[in-house]
Chains A and B, each alone.
Chain A
Amino acid sequence: MSEKRDITLHINGEDFFVSVEPRRTLVDVIRDDCGQTGTHIGCEHGVCGACTVLVDGEPMRSCLMFAVQADGRRIRTIEGLAKGETLHPMQEAFMKHHALQCGFCTPGFLMLAIGALEKNPDVSDDEIVDILSSNLCRCTGYENIVKAVKAAAAVMKAQA
C-alpha cells in the first residue's frame, strides 16, 4: 500500500536522507525525521499557517505538502534564519516590537514575511496586511506583527 520512499530534503543548507511513507506531510518529516522542531504544527489542514516554510523560496503550508513532493527541493525553516549569534532582521524586529507573546505562531509568521519580502522588497503597507492575513495569532492582535514586518522590511531593503 504505502511503501516507504528514500528522499533527500535540503533543509537550511544541510542534506537529510530519510525514508518516509508517502502519506507523511512535509512538516511531520521536518520535525520527526529531521529533528528540526522549530517549525510548528497547528491545525494540520492549512488554515493557521504555523507550519509555513520556504520551499524553493516560496512560502508554503508544509502540512499541505507531502514530504515525498519535497524530494530534492531547497527548504528554509526558522532554524536557518540566525547567522551564529546574529538574528535575522525580522527576528530582531519581532522582539523589538513585541510581535509575539506565546511564540507558537512565530516561526510561521517569520517564514511567511521573509519569503514575501525577499520576493518583493517594495511591498506596500496594504500588501503587508494582506500577506499577514494568511496566518493566525491568538496573542498579539496582529498590530505589533504588522509593525515589526514594516520595520524589518526597511532594514532588509537597506541591507540588500
Chain B
Amino acid sequence: MKPASFSYHAPRSVSEAVALLAEYAPQDGRVLAGGQSLVPTMAFRMARPAHLIDINGIAELAALTVEGEMLKIGACVRHAAFDSDTVPGATGTLLRKVVHNIAHYPIRTRGTFCGSVANADPASEWCCVMAALDGVAVLQSQRGERRVAAADFYQGVMTTALEEDELLVRCELPVLADDARSGFVEFSRRKGDFAIAMALVVYRLEAGKIVEPRVAVGGAETHARRIPDAEAVLAGAAPNAANFAKAARAAAADCDPMEDINNTADYRRELVCTMVERALERAV
C-alpha cells in the first residue's frame, strides 16, 4: 500500500528539529531518519503520523568521531559506515563483525545506528551492542540534554526512555582496549531476517585468565541486556571450552525468553545457550 498523508518538515539544525518536535510530537509527529522501519510500517498503514520531521538534512548529525575514550555516533550515521575502517581499534573490529548481520546491503546504506537504537526492536543488533558496551543515548529537547545509559534506556519491546519531544542526537560507545576480544553470533531462519537470538561477548586476557567479561543477549527477551550470571562464570576463568559452555548455560538459565508462533521459550533458551557459546568460541 501507499503511506497516508502527512506534513513534511525538513529542519537544517538540531535546535530547529527539537523546536518542531516540541510543536508537533503532541500532534502525532515522528522523527524520520533512515526510514527503513518507519516507512514500511507507514506503507502498511500501521503507522499514520500526521507530521514527519526529517533529520537527514542536519549536517551536524552525520558525524562519526572518536573523542577521547568515546566513539560518538550521530543520529544520521548509516549502518554501512561501520563496514569500513573508519572506526579504529577493537571497537571498530567489533562493529564490523556485527554490521554484516543487519538486514541487507541496500538497507544498510540508508538505515541508521541511532534509528535502530530508538526503534528498540528486540532483535536490533545495535541495541545489543549498546547493552553489551554500556553505551549512552544522548537525548536532546528544548528542555535540555539528557544522557541515558543503555541499561536504563530500554524498557521493553520497542519502548525506550525517549520522551515524545526528545531527539536521540547521538549514541556513545566506549573505545575498547586494543587487546579486547569480541565475538558476535546471531541465528535467524534466513539471511537478513530478524534474529531469534543473538549474543555479543567481549573480554580481555591477563595472565591467561579472562578479565572484564561482557556477555549480552539480544533477540530473545523484550530487549537486549548484559547477563551478570554468565559474566561471573567467566571472570578470572581460563578461556576454554568447559568455561564457555558453563557461561552459556548460565546465560540461558537467566533468560526469560519471549514466545511466538514459531519459537517457544524453551527453544529460544536453547538458542541463547548456543549463541553465547559460539560467540565465546569465536571471540578473537
Contact = CB atoms under 8 A, between A and B. Distances in A.
A38 interface: no
Nearest to A65: B35
Contacts of B267: none
Interface string A31-53: 00000000000001111010010
Contacts of A28: 2
B30 to A, nearest CB: 13
B54 interface: yes
Interface in B210-254: none
B106 A134 contact: yes
A98 interface: no
Contacts of B39: 25, 45-46, 63-66
B192 interface: yes
Interface string B59-85: 000000000000000000000100000
B79 to A, nearest CB: 12
Contact of B106 (A24, A60, A68): A60
Given A68-B8, A133-B104, A63 B43 contact: yes
Nearest to B104: A134
B97 interface: no
B192 A134 contact: yes
Contacts of B40: 45-47, 64
Interface in A53-102: 58-61, 63-66, 68-69
Nearest to B36: A64
Interface in B102-126: 104-107, 109-110
Contacts of B10: 68
A1 B35 CA distance: 20
A46 B41 CA distance: 10
A59 B8 contact: no
A153 B105 CA distance: 17
Interface in B173-194: 191-192
Contacts of B43: 44-45, 63
Interface of A: 1-3, 5, 21-25, 28, 44-47, 49, 52, 58-61, 63-66, 68-69, 112, 115-116, 130-131, 133-134
Given A23-B5, A25-B2, A131-B105, 11 more contacts: A1-B50, A21-B5, A23-B3, A58-B110, A60-B109, A61-B110, A63-B39, A66-B39, A68-B10, A130-B100, A130-B105
